[in-house]
Amino acid sequence: TTPATDVYPRKILEYMEGFLISKTVFTSCELGVFDVLLAAERPLSAEEISQAVGASLDGTQRLLAACAGLQLLNTHWDNGQVFYSNTEQSRVFLTRSSPLSLCQSIQYSSRTIYLCWHYLTDAVREGRNQYEKAFGVSSKDLFQALYRSDEEMVKFMHLMNSIWNICGRDVVTAFDLMPFKVICDLGGCSGALAKQCTLAYPECTVTIFDLPKVVRVSGEHFVTEADQRISFHEGDFFKDSLPVADLYILARILHDWTDERCIELLCRIYKACKPGSAVLLVEALLNEDGSGPLTAQLYSLNMLVQTEGRERTGAQYAALLAASGFTNIQHRLTGKIYDAVLGHK
């Protein structure tokens, strides 16, 4: 007979309901539960929290209980009544004012990615992204679809920004980039990785190259005058001439595009730079046999739903670089989500 543990489909049940967990986190952040607890500086009752966030008492009680079950809130019992406080991780990552806040990313996951994933089955069947169904916008020009409104663009920029506070240092120090003094971050977006470069390498300067409206918002909201070693260059990296640099960074750029588009872009970089220059790819690398990591496998599905690209293995990136002329190609795993691949001219 089969042991009882084998007939209880623990994993399958967990996966079937995984989205309940995501939605609990999304809603708690959207209502500002963690912010209210941060401001209170003492444990609060469900009643106090429900009033502060403007939600029903019954709904709030259930939400708080689930957050405690997820170990996102601590519980304190006093006279038979339960009070809640933030865990250390919730305070650092789930409050809006924290420098390491993931709230904006969570909001993007909730309002954009979650809606696209509603059409995952269609994406898999059709082999293409689902902007038209999810948002009624044509995805002919990928970034026109992604940036379908200014608000959507700023939300996307926040999503891009927040991860580099958490794992940016690891990717910029995976290789010694000290020899490269003039760096160009192509598709550099909010400048979060540019900042990590200037922190890790005191002698470098970084130019953020991105589409004009991204550069405008980045200069106004993300990069301050204090970041004196960071400058901007507006342009389209598929069409306009690229600034001369010792090192070009492409962080989470190639995963947006087909192999053909990637080679087109890498060839443009190769032509623009002098011998001795290099290109650093920052991506979530798949294992060579595709067996993991799970995060990269899921991100590759996300790329299917949202972009024209995919996640790739180190060898696949090396092949793209080699096809564009780059040599001496190496990759380094960081042990976090994003890894680094370096190629030289």
- Find all residues with CB under 8 Å of 160, minimum gap 6, and list them: 189, 190, 192, 252
DSSP string, 60-121: HHHHHHHHHHTTSEEEEEETTEEEEEE-HHHHHHSSTTSTT--HHHHHHIIIIIHHHHTTHH
User: Which stretches of the chain bind ligand SAM, using CB under 6 A?
Assistant: 143, 160, 187-189, 193, 210-211, 214, 236-238, 251-253, 256
Return the closest-CA partner of residue 190 out of 157, 212, 163, 227. 157
Structure tokens at 199: 């922190």
Which run of H or of E encompasses 22? helix 18-31
By beta-carbon proximity to ligand SAM, the closer residue of 29 and 160 is: 160
Between the alpha carbon of residue 69 and those of residues 27, 66, 244, the distances in Å are: 15, 5, 53
Minimum distance, C-beta of residue 212 to ligand SAM, in the bound complex (Å): 9
Structure tokens at 28: 């708690």
By beta-carbon proximity to ligand SAM, the closer residue of 237 and 317 is: 237
Minimum distance, C-beta of residue 25 to ligand SAM, in the bound complex (Å): 22
Minimum distance, C-beta of residue 114 to ligand SAM, in the bound complex (Å): 18
By beta-carbon proximity to ligand SAM, the closer residue of 144 and 328 is: 144
By beta-carbon proximity to ligand SAM, the closer residue of 253 and 285 is: 253
- What beta strand segments (E) does the chain contain? 44-45, 73-78, 81-86, 182-186, 205-210, 230-234, 247-251, 278-283, 327-332, 339-344
CB crowding 314-341: b at 16 or more within 10 Å, else e: bebbbbbbeebebeebebeebeebbbbb
- The residue nearest ligand SAM at its CB is 187
Sign, CA torsion 314/244/170/345: positive
By beta-carbon proximity to ligand SAM, the closer residue of 117 and 338 is: 338
Q: Which of 118, 255, 331, 344 is catalytic?
A: 255
By beta-carbon proximity to ligand SAM, the closer residue of 43 and 187 is: 187
Minimum distance, C-beta of residue 34 to ligand SAM, in the bound complex (Å): 24
Which run of H or of E encompasses 127? none
Minimum distance, C-beta of residue 63 to ligand SAM, in the bound complex (Å): 31
Minimum distance, C-beta of residue 90 to ligand SAM, in the bound complex (Å): 24
Annotated catalytic, 76? Answer: no
Catalytic residues: 255
